[in-house]
Structure formats: C-alpha cells, structure tokens
Amino acid sequence: MTPSGSCQVKTKTVISASRRTDLVSFFPGWLADSLRKRTASVIGPSGRIRTVDLSPDAVHTLVLWSKDFSNLLSDRDGLRTGLVAYDQAYFHFTVTGLGGTGIEPGAPRFREGLAQLPRLVELAGDPRRVSLRFDPVVFWEDGGRVASNVPSFSEAVEAAAAAGVADIRFSFAQWYRKARARAARRGFPYRDPPEEEKKSVALRLAAEAGRLGLNLFACSQAFLTGVGGIRPSACIDGRLLTQLHPRGEPASMKRDGSQRTECLCTESVDIGSYTQACPHGCVYCYANPKT
C-alpha cells in the first residue's frame, strides 16, 4: 500500500532486443528460445550475468531493433510464433542506404531491406508500432569529393510513407575511439562535419519528411533540437507504448538513466549482450562487431 492507503500498481517491463547487437538478424534461435523459456540470461557490459523475466505477464512491450527482419517475417526458429504470447511488439527498422557496401558489409542491400516494410507493418498490427531509422547519416571522402548516404533518404522515407509508417529517426555518425580505429584499419576516410553543416543537412531531411507528412526525430543529438521540423527522440517512449497497448496498460514514463545523457528513452531492460558480436560489420559501430 502507498502512504495514502491505495494500492500501487507495478508497471510491466519494456524489453529491448537489442541496442547492443542485432538479435533478430544473427541470433534468432537464442531470442526465440528465450521467449519460449520465458527467461533470458544476459551477460552485461561488466561481465555479470543477469536473469531477465520474459513471462508475458511481466512484459509490457517487446521492442525489437534490426537491420534485417527477414528471420522474424519467415518465422525462423519459431521467432515470429514466439511473439504471439506477448501483448505488444514495437519495431525499430534501420535502413540507411549503405547495406551491402564496405560501410555496412553484412547488412541487406538498400531496396532489399525496404521491401520488408509492408510485411513488418502487417505483423505489428499498427504502423505506429514501426519506426524507420535512417541512422546514422555518414560522410566520407571519395575521390576528392564528400560523399554521404543522404541521397538515399528520399527513397527510404517515401517507402515508409507508402507503408503507413510516420515516424522517422536519424542521427549523424558519432565517431567514438573504437570506430575511429576500425575506420583506420579499413582505410575508410570518414568525415565528421561541423555542427552547422550537420544542421543544414538536417533541415533538408526535415523538409523532405515534412513534404510527406512524416515525423522526424533526432536521436541523442541535442544540438539538432532547434532545427525546424525536428523533434528530439525517445526511441523507447513509455507514453507512446502505453497509448498503443491493446489494453492501455501503462509503461514506465521514467527516463532510462543507463543511457547516454542526451537520450530521452524511458526505462527498459535490454537482453542483448556485446558478447553476441554482430556480423553486420558496420564501420561506425559503437559495439563489438566481428570485423
């Protein structure tokens, strides 16, 4: 009982699968098995093993992040079947236009990835449960000129709009020390433009999204907040997940303190591990890819 004598209802847990690795693409068997067993043993960044309750009565929403949902859509290892027991799934689908290139060698090629969108929306049951992530925006030197994946943005958001997906998220690549070292090993001549240049590019992206009636969110980059047409992102948004829940059950609205300072996500429990190295091999990755 609370001090006033009323019962305090504990909110169910939002499960993130995963910010740390692409479980759907490369570990569908592990993920499906965890859903069947209703528990996941997770090796955290410190090496400590944590057991996470995945029983449907304890889970508010499963948030799945991937660059390739084909394993889910084809029910590989019973992954799609495993979702049936849960009230709600929300999908973050990353498509950057760089799949199959030296920048994202293990990710699906651009249009191959986009082709999954309509089926993913159908599985979600509501296009508001799908977010397209054009993330990150990358710049590099190419034969004396600056190249980027910005030209692919228009086709990506047009595909999203056609599928009924209204929420688009993006950020500019952040070149952490690990990523800089990887780029040097591969001889990748990345370029990190100054903030004013990024704001100019962001304004163009916002105009393109606005033309299609889409919502454009910037992920963990507060310097973009003042750019017209761009809102700061809570990629895991307890308020939205509550609104979309089939019975309106509340998710936590408390900010997730384990994330970066500029991250506005609400509380969730991530069941991925950096030990599950991701073979996408993205040159800008902040995690621990095999390549």
Instruction: Tell me the pLDDT tens digit for each residue of 70-110.
Output: 999 999 999 999 999 999 999 999 999 999 999 999 999 99
1 pLDDT exceeds 80?
A: no
* pLDDT tens readout for residues 161-184: 999 999 999 999 999 999 999 999
Provide the pLDDT for residue 8: 56
Output the six-digit token pair for 169: 């998220």
Provide the pLDDT for residue 3: 46
Confidence of residue 290 (pLDDT cuts 50, 70, 90): low
211 pLDDT exceeds 50?
A: yes
Provide the 8-state DSSP code for 191: E
Percent of the chain with pLDDT over 90: 90
The Cα 149–Cα 190 span in angstroms is 12
4 pLDDT exceeds 60?
A: no
Using alpha carbons, select from 233, 286, 291 the residue that is nearest to residue 107: 291
Provide the pLDDT for residue 26: 98
141 pLDDT exceeds 50?
A: yes
Confidence of residue 5 (pLDDT cuts 50, 70, 90): very low
Confidence of residue 289 (pLDDT cuts 50, 70, 90): low
Does this model's pTM top 0.85?
Answer: yes
Please give the mean pLDDT across all residues of the chain: 95
2 pLDDT exceeds 50?
A: no
Provide the pLDDT for residue 9: 63
Query: Is residue 283 exposed (0-12), middle (13-18) or buried (19+ Cβ within 10 Å)?
Result: buried
| pLDDT average, residue stretch 243-248 | 97
Q: What is the DSSP string of 9-63?
A: PPPPEEEEE-SSS-HHHH-HHHHHHHHHHTEEEEE-TTS-EEEEE--TTTEEEEE
Output the six-digit token pair for 230: 């761009």
- Range from 9-13, 243-247, 285-289 that averages highest in pLDDT: 243-247
Provide the 8-state DSSP code for 231: E
Strand-strand pairing, 190-191 and 167-172: unpaired
* pLDDT tens readout for residues 118-139: 999 999 999 999 999 999 999 9
User: Which residues have CB under 8 Å from 204's CB, separation 6+?
Assistant: 150
Provide the pLDDT for residue 228: 96
Are the C-beta atoms of residues 51 and 41 closer than 8 Å to each other?
A: yes
| pLDDT average, residue stretch 254-268 | 93
